[in-house]
Amino acid sequence: MSVGGRGRAPAATLPAALAELLATGGEAAARLTRRPPPLARGQLHYLRWNAVPDASRARAELGWEPTPLEDGLRQTLAALPRS
């Protein structure tokens, strides 16, 4: 069970060809509606690039250490107003 009290959500996947179609069609529709596309081609390119973040420079130069996910979620949930 996760910190938020729910199980893990299933990963959603979209075939690459369908994602390309969505991005291209979405950008065409965005030009007509003057609203942002659901998925821009630049965003799709970045997602397919499989970038891996690297915090080694921040750790080395600044002494930064990330908060573990479970701790961060716990702290965030504790700070939210209760109704």
pTM over 0.85: no
Residue 40's pLDDT is what?
93
Rounded distance, CA 41 to CA 24, Å?
7
**16 close to 41: Cβ distance less than 8 angstroms:** no
Rounded distance, CA 24 to CA 39, Å?
9
Rounded distance, CA 40 to CA 28, Å?
10
Residue 12's pLDDT is what?
78
Is the pLDDT assigned to residue 67 strictly greater than 80?
yes
Q: Is 24 exposed, middle or buried (0-12, 13-18, 19+ CB in 10 A)?
A: middle
User: How high does pLDDT run on average in the chain?
Assistant: 89
What percent of the chain clears pLDDT 70, i.e. is strictly above it? Answer: 90
Per the listing, tokens 């250490």 go with 65
